[in-house]
Amino acid sequence: MWATAVLIYLAAVFHRTSLGVASLEASDRFGLGPAALGTFTVLQVGVYALMQVPTGMLVDRFGPRRVLITAALLMGTGQLLFAFATTYPLGLVARAVLGVGDAMTFVSVLRLVAAHFPARRYAALTSITAALGALGQLLSTVPLSLLLDGPGWTATFAAAGAATALYAVVLALRVRDGEVLYGTGTDQAPSPSLRTVLTQVRHAWSTPGTRLGFWLHFSTMFAPAMLGLLWGFPYLVRAQGMGEAAAGLLLGVLVLGAVIGGPLVGALISRWPACRTPLVVGYLVAALAVWAILLGWPGGRVPGAVLVAGFAVLSLGGPASAIGFALARDYNPLRRVGTATGVVNVGGFVAITVSALAVGVLMSVFEPLGPTTAFRLALLSVVAILLLGLWRTSVWWRRARAVVFDAAARGETVPVQIRRRAWDLASA
């Protein structure tokens, strides 16, 4: 049942990132400049971000099975519309529908994991789920590029959309919401009312562990996702002078890093949960160093080996972002996990939306300077967002730790035993 659900999440990632290698073709098909092209991704990811909290509410109220079936139908419909769209407005509608369906998948899969597996395996299974889903992005690199050069835009996207819509039948037959096998009696509550669900959203957001997960997710996943979704391919082809096939292969490094890093990070944080946030902070510092090298390289043209190494480091942002969901699972009761997971998931996709829009707008402003210089200046917005995320993550890390120390002092059971440091807050 978990594998069946993971496959629809893989399809969601494929649809989400399919515009990456098709961005230049989409620009020609719809006659778009950089800012208008960026609107495709901004709209799709913006809809995704806006739908995360409602999706968590829907999953908690109606169960993941019905939400996953709806997601498959919406994604299939959206990709079919995109396949036959020849005008910019219809293309935008198609990506918006696709974004709504995509938004419903990951939270639903994690809710199934929370219901059918013990809590000690949640972090590892979350990371493995994310890693397997990343294979969808791998399919949207070189394989999709070859299909677009062969059968073409309409045939490729229409086949993908039809297959996804038909997969709703498989989900209906194979997935079951099930009982909460490893919860307590208080977690096995009936479907809540809308007022109760809205209260859950407020409680989830007010929980410091959830807020830490939000900013952690905001900081880690947006840069590799923004590159894979839209701007990585034009950056490599136009600013770095790479061929399209080579650029597609290099984008595959972002996926391979996520596939390999996901299970490793999951195993690490399952065994040593106290290292979760320090691991994220270490990644963010490394990511800042990578961007400093890529954007500060003399002449702007970065050697291929340096690009590969830099993209490999950035690719670990996806596995690191899964730590945010483990925090949501640990610091919220199971009846609120779907809602809290949706809140955490909003973080990364808000950052993707802002960064994709910022890069597109700045590219339009600096386009007369040439593609290499324009990209160097436009991608400085990514560094600014990364610094914001690092700051807010550090703030909520200290606050979440203070809550844990206060709970332990009262004799309450805490999810993770941590040691007080000199820089910790005195109390929550």
* 415 within domain boundaries: no
The band of 45, judged by pLDDT with boundaries at 50, 70 and 90, is: confident
Mean pLDDT value of segment 83-89: 90
271 lies in a domain?
yes
Residue 190 has pLDDT above 70, yes or no: no
| Mean of per-residue pLDDT scores for the chain | 85
Token look-up 């990709």 returns 79
Q: Is residue 373 part of a domain?
A: yes
Mean pLDDT of 183-205: 62
Helical H segments across 367-412, by residue range = 371-378, 380-409
Q: In this structure, what CATH number is given to the domain that contains residue 116?
A: 1.20.1250.20
What is the band of 303 on the pLDDT scale with cuts at 50, 70, 90? very high
What pLDDT score was predicted for residue 428? 64
Q: How confident is the model at residue 194 (pLDDT cuts 50, 70, 90)?
A: low
Q: According to the model, what pLDDT value does residue 192 have?
A: 56
- 360 Cβ neighbours under 8 A, 6+ residues apart: 34, 35, 36, 37, 38, 39, 42, 231, 378
| 252-287: burial string, b at 16+ Cβ within 10 Å, e else | bbbbbbbbbbbbebbebbbeebeebbebbbebbeeb
- The percent of residues above 90 in pLDDT, for the chain, comes to 33
Determine the structural domain holding residue 234 and report its residue range.
2-177+192-409
Whether residue 234 is predicted with pLDDT greater than 50 in this model: the reply is: yes
Q: What is the structure's pLDDT at 74? A: 95
Find the mean pLDDT for residues 192-201.
Answer: 70
E-only strand ranges, 99-179: none
Identify the DSSP state of 193: P
Q: Looking at 179-193, 200-214, 309-323, which range is the least confident one?
A: 179-193
pLDDT at res. 186: 37
Say what the pLDDT of residue 394 is: 92
Cα 361 to chain centroid, rounded: 22
DSSP 201-237: HHHHHHSHHHHHHHHHHHHHHHHHHHIIIIIHHHIII
219 within 8 A of 320, measured Cβ to Cβ: no
Domain count, the chain: 1
Instruction: State yes or no: pLDDT of 331 exceeds 60.
Output: yes
* Residue 418 maps to a domain: no
Residue 186 lies in a domain: no
The stretches of 297-370 forming alpha helices (DSSP H) are 304-314, 317-330, 337-366
Model confidence at 193, pLDDT cuts 50, 70, 90, reads low
Residue 409 CB neighbours (<10 A)? 9
Q: What pLDDT is stored for residue 181 in this prediction?
A: 38
More confident residue, 203 or 127: 203
87 CB burial (10 A radius; 0-12, 13-18, 19+) = exposed
The closest alpha carbon to 190, from 332, 62, 56, belongs to 62
Residue 424 lies in a domain: no
Question: Could you tell me the CA-to-CA distances from 177 to 114, 122, 172, 174, 192 in Å, in that order?
Answer: 11, 17, 11, 10, 16
> Is the pLDDT confidence value at 393 over 80?
yes
Q: What is the pLDDT of residue 22?
A: 80
- pLDDT at residue 272 in the model: 83
Query: Among 55-64, 186-195, 292-301, whose mean pLDDT is lowest?
Result: 186-195
Residue 164 · residue 69 · CB < 8 Å = no
Identify the band that residue 123 occupies on the pLDDT scale cut at 50, 70 and 90.
confident
8 Å CB contact between 40 and 91: yes
Cα-Cα-Cα-Cα dihedral sign, residues 215, 218, 219, 221:
positive
The CB density around residue 425, as the number of other CB atoms within 10 Å, is: 14
Is the pTM for the entire model greater than 0.85? no
The whole-number pLDDT of residue 185 equals 37
Residue 420 lies in a domain: no
Which of the residue ranges 49-63, 70-84, 99-113 would you say has the lowest mean pLDDT?
49-63
Six-digit token string for 216: 């952690």
Q: Which of 311, 249, 221, 236 is nearest to 24 (CA)?
A: 236
Say whether pLDDT at 388 is over 80: yes
Look at residue 391 and tell me if it is in a domain. yes
